[in-house]
Structure 1
Amino acid sequence: MTASERSRIGGDPNNDLDARRGGHQVIFRMLGSFEVIRGEEVITPSAPKLRQVLALLAIQANRVVPTRQLIDELWEEQPPPSSATTLQTYIYQLRKVLNVGDARPGIRPGPISLQTRLGGYLLGVPEESIDIRTFELLAAAGRRQLEEGQVERAAGSLRQALGLWRGSALADVSVGPVLQADLVRLNESRYSIHELRIDADLALNRHHELISELTGYTAQHPTHEGLHARLMLALYRAGRRSEALRLFQRIRSVLADELGLEPGPELQHLQRQILSAEPGPQLGPEPTETIRVSARPDPPMQLPVNVSLVGRDNQLERLVAVLRERSANEPAVVAVSGPPGVGVSAFCARAAHQVRAEFPDGQFYGSLRGRSRAAELLANFLAAVGIPTSRIPDELETRSQMFRNWTIDRKVLVLLDDVSDADIGGLLLPGGRHSAAIIGAHRRLFGRQIQATVDLRQLTVDQSIELLIDAAGRHRLQRDAGVARALGRVSKSAVGG
């Protein structure tokens, strides 16, 4: 590892923190092969399961990773009976690798710590010691600089962020469902920052330098319209107008042959600008295609009917607290799971109604069953805020981005039910830190965007009787307490009506 790389991730290995530890700072590199480095020594575990556990703890550093989540990552649907004990052994071995102990009450942990917490484990690491955090900080700085018109600085920040990548994230780690969700998010972020950096370079008239790079990317992604549009623009600005027009014809043929589609408005508008030899063609649809949101007297209010609950007070209080915090730079997202019949839908609806007043710009609801359903729900969301049907794009991802853009500075709540795939559900989440989402599912969902989880279990017999009383009336059940208790045992899997 070079000195310059060390300065970007982790700073000086002989800083004050290291002095207090009596050794070198530990650096975690995950944007490529997984590397854990202390000074000049690579201490990455060689055992596959240890690497997997440490990678998950590191990618969610400074947050408690639930024990159940770690077990699901390692063994998915079929954990062995000894899984909890085996996981404890892995944690013990990782403490030896990192040369740290468990933090004891009253003792302040060092800069690197692997702490046992209630229900899970927390890897404490300085933010600057993790390449993912450095990437996210540089990417955020680049976005902000672009918004402020500091294009030169933005291009530098974005290029520096992308320079941290050494290949696919965690390329040499065997990943399970939890890490896979994080990797999907990371890759999406990388592609997004890459496009922003190209846009910044185009704004700085670096089209000659971009042509070779974009030619390679379009060959790798023959149906990616955004990359082709950028290459067309670079070619035209470099005086290669005929090549730009031939590129349009090529992607038009590929889209028609492989997907049965015509190029989108951005590509078509750019082609028309190049055909007419306009002096300053720009990316984006024609001005007449600008989306106009019609004025609405009231915000969308789509929540299902509110219901009463029995035996869920503590869980409801916890969920509502997470929704009200919204202290991060992203929406507060809570996933609620439980087997069919325990009342996931009713619980989510109750929580949504309890906080709805805090989201005055709209409350959106949808029952999600698959990718095609996601596209339909997004179309409904966009129509509900006044976007004309003719302006709603066909592509799922484009609809998702349009919805996120609309919500970015608004306070909205999204309630999704019957979610089976966290990645698909993530496409319907709002953007910005002022919003929140509740996701209901019959199995636990994983993903970096999920900030908290609530697992619902069957009610006790006494709670089931309270549910019956709530539904039928106390006077009716008091006449035969024995029958009521029998009914409670039969119906203890029901909640919330």
Structure 2
Amino acid sequence: MLSLLLVHANQVVPLESLVEELWDDTPPKLARKTVQTYIYHIRKALREGAGDGPWVRTEPRGYRIRVGTGQLDLWRFQELCSRGRAALSEGRPGLASDAFREALALWRGPAFSGTAAGALLSAQQARLEDLRMAALEQRIEADMELGIHRELLSELKGLTLAHPLNEVLAGRLMRAAARSGHRQVALDAYQRLRAAMVGELGLEPSAEVRDLQRDVLEDVLLPERRTAAAPTDETVRPVVVPAELPPRSADFIGRTRQVAAITAAGRPSGAAASALPAVRVVVVTGGVGTGKTVTAVEASHQLRGHYPGGQLFATLHRPDGTPVAGRDALTSLLLSSGHPDGQLPSAVEDLARLFRSWTSERRMLVVLDDAGSPGQVIPLLPSSPDCAVVVTSRWRLEGLPGAVTRVELKGMSEDEGVALLGSAAGARRVARERPQAAELVRLYDGLPLAVRALGERLAARTDLLVRDLLCRARDDGQRLAVLRGPQHDSLRRVGTAHQRLPAAERELLSLLCRLPRPVRERELLRAMELSGRRTGEFDRLVESLVASHSVEITECREGLAFTVPVLSRLVLSERVRVDRRASPREVAGGSGGAGDRNPPDPAVLAGIGT
């Protein structure tokens, strides 16, 4: 309530607005009396503060909080932003940059963090976040007017990862990279923006951004200019401290034990840390949709204070699922570290040696997201025991050097899943249908990817009830469609993850999805024989699928049983239904031909164990 009064300082906030903020459309009978009690406690708390502090006055239609000049940081923020915009329009980028920096320094986190926001306060939160982003964009514009481009690359790369649909930030990164001589970084930024916009919005980037991409391709952008000559000697080049961690997720729920395990393994331990013979490597592993990246980012933020040398972040697969080449990944890391592009070697081995040499003198935290193999990770590892690396992967990544700790993620508990659903759709709204919400979480095995998608569906439609989604989700044929809102990126990730598997593993996984679960070992072997597959490689294929968290193994009285995680099973089963006539290799995403055998009829497969 105090937050709502302050955001409307010196204005009357109607009683009806306070009631709506506190209870939505279901106020208690004594709502007015309860509001009066809250106002009394607010007045008491303010009286115990500064003698001339703000105070709350009762008005005919509601309440008004009186705030004097200099007492509200929001006003100071807006004043500094106005000063910065004026300086920018007058051609004084230095003054503009200073004003915007001072304004942004007033922020210590999200607006009204720690406050349970209703509909009205949520709208104000969104408005203030828009103001903060506008100030950040204008501060970067002022810095670029000063000819500062190279120093902005690390910050801009982190911002574009956090805001993948922001065309302004993407354009700033493209321009800064191109004017610093890093055209590939600029083109990669455009491709990430376009993939995100087409995938999530169905839109192409604006004409301005497309024109900027053409300018980069034609190399017509002017190189960076400065009021003074940039230093060329390595000994006087300014030290760059990268800070590339993406922002924490505002709705991060649970995972207390796993985050503690990551931070314990990645944290230096005083004198013992310097005696540790190898770099600390934490592999966060789990199946598709288990929240590996968001968990790793949360833990890395808790670790960042231990690594003053900087924090680097690299994604090792592109949005279409293709792996990032080692040379590209190392080049990106070294550019973020301040190394000039023109002085970087071309061979991967030389780049890796340069990266190890640079990190050997620093206490660095490196986060490598979505790794596909040990070979992709090893060239990117520092050698110094004063550094730590957090890697996310579906695979266990056996054979990595260093002091390796593995932390496995599975589905969330029922309580955590319901809490995550409530954080996206509204805690009070979900609490009114707690049993239905719990069943909905169980149907999707508590996978954060699915639960968050369900929460977004509910948040997008206030008329939609949890029980409405539950009724559809109970039907296997509709369970996948329930997750599909206006954005399809989450489900596309499941599909691209499946495509990364070798062809033989894809075929077996597709076959498993057609069998009633769980599938016993002898049933799977018989299904392989019926579909014309060789059973001699059974152990190797199963071991590979288990290692990639594509299949889970349980024990039953008849021996081993196999289960495909719910999201993978739903996506792959849908592909089978789309084309019943496709061969096993076509269904699995391979390149089938005229010689492929037709898969056994589903009715035959369903009766294998009978």
TM over 0.5: no
Greater Rg by CA:
2
TM-score range, shorter chain: 0.3 to 0.5
TM, length-normalised to structure 1: 0.43
TM, length-normalised to structure 2: 0.35
Q: Considering Cα pairs closer than 8 Å and 6+ residues apart, tell me whether 1 or 2 has the greater RCO.
A: 1
